[in-house]
Chains A and B, each alone.
Chain A
Amino acid sequence: MSYHANEKGYYGEFGGAFIPEMLYPNTEELRQNYLRIMQDPSFKKEFDQLLKDYVGRPTPLYFAERLSNKYKTKIYLKREDLCHTGAHKVNNTIGQILMAKKLGKNRIIAETGAGQHGVATATVCALMGIECVVYMGEIDIARQAPNVARMKMLGAEVRPALSGSRTLKDATNEAIRDWINNPVNTHYIIGSVVGPHPYPDMVARFQSVISEEVKWQLKEKEGREQPDYVVACVGGGSNAAGIYYQYLDTPEVGIIAVEAAGKGIDTGESAATSALGKVGIIHGSKTLLMQTQDGQITEPYSISAGLDYPGVGPMHAHLFKSGRGEFISITDDEAMTAGLEVSQLEGIIPAIETSHAFAIFDHKQFKEDDVVVINLSGRGDKDLNTYIDYFKL
């Protein structure tokens, strides 16, 4: 059994392309070409070169000694926080902007929640000199002002999503509507392993560089390519897909997915999709999502803007349903405490999304000689205001 997407974009029962006919030509063009383009040596060369010289890859695999001592296990951190723009998101946007160029597109659209993917998209559009429109919920625009300013400095137009709850879900709806209205010249850079086939698979492949590096880096440090566990936070799930990718079909490597419980799973203010979601359709994909009994999509909550998506990518829905992945949900308070601890033990201030992954040690016991690789998906600069408010710094 494989945990990768099949040729129709299904991970077990999840995935596919549940899209209106208006989007069929766009996604079909991408579906027919993405693998061919990604395997083209000239594409690979340009992608690898940019990841190296522009993004700053390979990112270090760092042995976190003090954290390891505290939790009596061997903890390695994959330092995606050191990527240009401060998170793993740029791996995907570099890949997709090159894809867009190969497909002859001259206009880029994207959705963003906290603004990280918007910034990563605006960055690569500036790099390539391509027009960029980023949809962002009106409420998120108000609470993520620095990232809005970054996108503007980079030359992107930030368009407020005024519909629905005016957050990430609605920004995604607006980007999809834009794509319906501009089917020929526009490429939609989705920021996570969500959306209709081939997006989940394509984004996972672009992010797979993370676990590709972990393999040889761990070999150097531990003499083996396989850790005992890979750990990542999951909103839509792109950083998780990246660190799981090379190990999906290696059952000896445990997969741990950390979701945001918000104020607690039963409080009505949560984003823990595996605990609260049911099978349904969101943004063109069949997956687990939070919804009413009647099938209306509900609004999630997390202190971390990057984790409050009402669904998960179909890969993760399948990992959960099949039992291949172990899903742990972490509250706002646990995440904030863990973020502070990592800051003080390791001198690294993580993004609040990532802080959730650091809070698993109170939930799961590891053996002393276990090698646990945590994907440090982003840095905490963007979250300083939230940290300041929370800790009264």
Chain B
Amino acid sequence: MNRINQKLQENKKLLSIYFTAGYPALNDTVRIIQDLEKHGVDMIEIGLPFSDPLADGPTIQESSTAALQNGMHTELLFEQLKDIRKTVSIPLIVMGYFNPMLQYGVEAFCKKCHDIGIDGIIMPDLPLDVYQEEYEDIFKKNGLINVFLITPQTSKERIRQIDAASEGFIYMVSSASVTGSQSGFGNTQTDYFERIAAMQLKNQQIVGFGISNSETFEAATKTAKGAIIGSAFIKHLTKQGVDGIADFVQSIR
């Protein structure tokens, strides 16, 4: 069974962390992953930096630009991760934009992920219909779970469609926004969380965007299975460096 599915069966709320590979320093990738696991994080999204990250706010944009300037690229990330499964056992997901994956070759990219022990992929700009028509077989052959997003604007009908196509969890974007732009949740979010919970989807949901501290983590996981923190963690890395990872994780729960 895929590590993501195993993790989703655990009787706890999951804390997932996103970071941009190659940031703050080019070779921090493995250290960050190991430290996050050591301090109790349940799942990690490893961000493959892209020059034009459309769905991201300034924090992740800047970390991506810095990572690319540091020299990060797809092959190097795979190289850094090649022995990761000797030391890390929590689910690992590669998150990025579709163009770098397309240039690497979707098949080669997926095979590499499989060989390393990556469990899932999040490519926000790879649309559901294109995935199903062209790439689903390749993902599946390599044991990769493709994670789809929903937002407060996603129609009920489309949520059902995405639920049917999903095999791990649904990435529930907390509000109509790019990453890193919320501070706290209001009634709109609470209503949305409850509305989705009431749909009784076959896949559990993990909330992302706008989770920055223990309050937002708790609010998001009241109905959802877990939450993903990205921008807030990157801000912390920028200020405290990789030595402060324990503090950050402990501040969330």
Contacts and interface: CB of A to CB of B under 8 A. Distances in A.
Interface of A: 16-22, 24-25, 163-164, 169-170, 173, 176-177, 180-184, 278-284, 291, 293-298
A21 B149 contact: yes
A169 B177 contact: no
Contacts of A25: 151, 153-155
A365 B177 CA distance: 53
A281 B103 CA distance: 10
Q: Chain B, interface size: which category?
A: 35 or more
Give me the 3 closest cross-chain CB pairs, A-B, nearest first: A295-B103, A295-B100, A20-B124
Contact of B55 (A180, A182, A282, A296): A180
B68 interface: yes
B51 A297 contact: yes
21 contacts: A17-B127, A18-B98, A18-B126, A20-B125, A21-B124, A21-B148, A21-B151, A22-B55, A22-B176, A22-B178, A24-B151, A164-B65, A176-B54, A181-B181, A183-B176, A184-B153, A280-B99, A284-B54, A295-B101, A296-B100, A297-B99
Interface of B: 50-52, 54-55, 57-58, 61, 65, 68, 73-75, 97-104, 124-127, 130, 148-151, 153-155, 158, 173, 176-178, 181
A22 B173 contact: yes
A164 B52 contact: yes
B99 A295 contact: yes
A295 B74 contact: yes
B212 to A, nearest CB: 17
Given A180-B177, A281-B102, A296-B100, A18 B125 contact: yes
A137 to B, nearest CB: 13
A163 B155 CA distance: 32
B208 to A, nearest CB: 11
Given A281-B102, A295-B103, A18 B51 contact: no
Contacts of A170: 52
Nearest to A289: B99
B125 A19 contact: yes
Nearest to A19: B125
Contacts of B149: 20-22
B55 A183 contact: no
Contacts of B102: 279-281, 295
Contacts of B99: 280-282, 291, 295, 297
B125 A281 contact: yes
A297 B151 contact: no
Nearest to A8: B129
A20 B209 CA distance: 14
A20 B155 contact: no
A20 B128 CA distance: 10
A283 B127 CA distance: 13
Q: Most chain-B Cβ atoms within 10 A of its Cβ — which of A25, A177, A293?
A: A177
Q: Most chain-A Cβ atoms within 10 A of its Cβ — which of B74, B100, B127?
A: B127
Nearest to A180: B178
Contacts of B54: 19-20, 173, 176-177, 180, 283-284
Contacts of B55: 20, 22, 177, 180
A383 B178 CA distance: 36
A48 to B, nearest CB: 34
Given A173-B54, A294-B100, A296-B51, 20 more contacts: A19-B127, A22-B124, A22-B173, A22-B178, A24-B127, A164-B65, A177-B178, A180-B54, A181-B176, A181-B178, A181-B181, A280-B99, A282-B52, A282-B99, A284-B54, A291-B103, A294-B73, A295-B101, A295-B102, A295-B104
Contacts of A22: 55, 124, 149, 151, 153, 173, 176, 178
B153 A281 contact: no
A18 B104 contact: no
A181 B125 CA distance: 16
Q: Most chain-A Cβ atoms within 10 A of its Cβ — which of B99, B102, B155?
A: B99
B18 to A, nearest CB: 15
A292 B125 CA distance: 19
B99 to A, nearest CB: 4
Nearest to B158: A24
Nearest to A281: B99
A181 B61 CA distance: 16
Nearest to A294: B73
Given A22-B149, A22-B176, A176-B54, A294 B125 contact: no
A21 B177 contact: no
B150 A182 contact: no
A267 B50 CA distance: 25
A94 B23 CA distance: 45
Contacts of A180: 54-55, 176-178
Contacts of B50: 295-296
Nearest to B62: A163
A3 B50 CA distance: 32
A60 to B, nearest CB: 40
Contacts of A280: 99, 102-103
Q: Most chain-A Cβ atoms within 10 A of its Cβ — which of B51, B75, B153?
A: B51
Contact of B173 (A21, A184, A291): A21
Nearest to B177: A181
Nearest to A284: B125
A163 B100 contact: no
B178 to A, nearest CB: 5
A70 B58 CA distance: 54
A184 B153 CA distance: 9
A17 B61 CA distance: 22
B61 A21 contact: no
Contacts of B181: 181
